[in-house]
Chains A and B, each alone.
Chain A
Amino acid sequence: DAGVIQSPRHEVTEMGQEVTLRCKPISGHDYLFWYRQTMMRGLELLIYFNNNVPIDDSGMPEDRFSAKMPNASFSTLKIQPSEPRDSAVYFCASAPAGPANQPQHFGDGTRLSIL
């Protein structure tokens, strides 16, 4: 079975540019999560979706960040305009429906560098 697929694996861009990160969750999973990992703050939840609907976006740092899930097999996280402090590894994870303690399955992440 294919796991969570993220693209690109690496992104280097200049400050002010728009960045789009992509995620394909595991088929049949109802929950999709976007995380950001930094040395200072560890793994932080940015936003999560249930059945393509955003449920909690309180972790999104500011209005420059937006996320969409147009269908059950695709989600994007967009940063516009990007800033150097956005440099981090961004992970997407998905989980099946059921009790909230279902383990989340993570993609391999996108390493983002903003120059």
Chain B
Amino acid sequence: DQQVKQNSPSLSVQEGRISILNCDYTNSMFDYFLWYKKYPAEGPTFLISISSIKDKNEDGRFTVFLNKSAKHLSLHIVPSQPGDSAVYFCAATDSGYSTLTFGKGTMLLVSP
């Protein structure tokens, strides 16, 4: 039973345009959400996070939006760059615990 779902295995975007990656969760206990980026042959690296007390968090070109009622979050990358091409993982946790539950990832390809 997947508690964190990333329904799009892949996404292709042109350089300069917006990339929108989506994530849904089912566990209502989750109250903290993270996005990780992963390049081939490397481990995931932390990108941005959001607490359930917020509905938006911004860091440069990256913005994460949280819709608690829909149990949905999204990562926006504007403008997209070829170096953003990677697999993006959504992760969630109940802040009372230390463990993360990951989605299966979305492969983003940004073409020049």
Contacts and interface: CB of A to CB of B under 8 A. Distances in A.
Interface residues of B: mostly helix, strand, loop or mixed? loop
Contacts, number: 57
Interface residues of A: mostly helix, strand, loop or mixed? strand
A25 B105 CA distance: 24
A91 B43 CA distance: 7
B95 interface: yes
B95 A104 contact: no
A105 B98 contact: no
B45 interface: yes
A31 to B, nearest CB: 6
The number of chain B residues touching the other chain, given as a range, is 20 to 34
Interface of A: 4, 31, 33, 41-45, 48, 50, 55-56, 91, 93, 95, 99-101, 103-109
Nearest to A111: B41
Interface string B71-112: 000000000000000000100011111111111110000000
B95 A101 contact: yes
Nearest to A56: B99
Contact of B99 (A42, A48, A105, A109): A48
Contact of A100 (B36, B42, B46, B98): B98
B34 interface: yes
Q: Which 10 A-B pairs have the closest CB atoms?
A: A106-B43, A42-B104, A103-B46, A43-B102, A101-B32, A100-B98, A108-B43, A100-B95, A106-B44, A108-B42
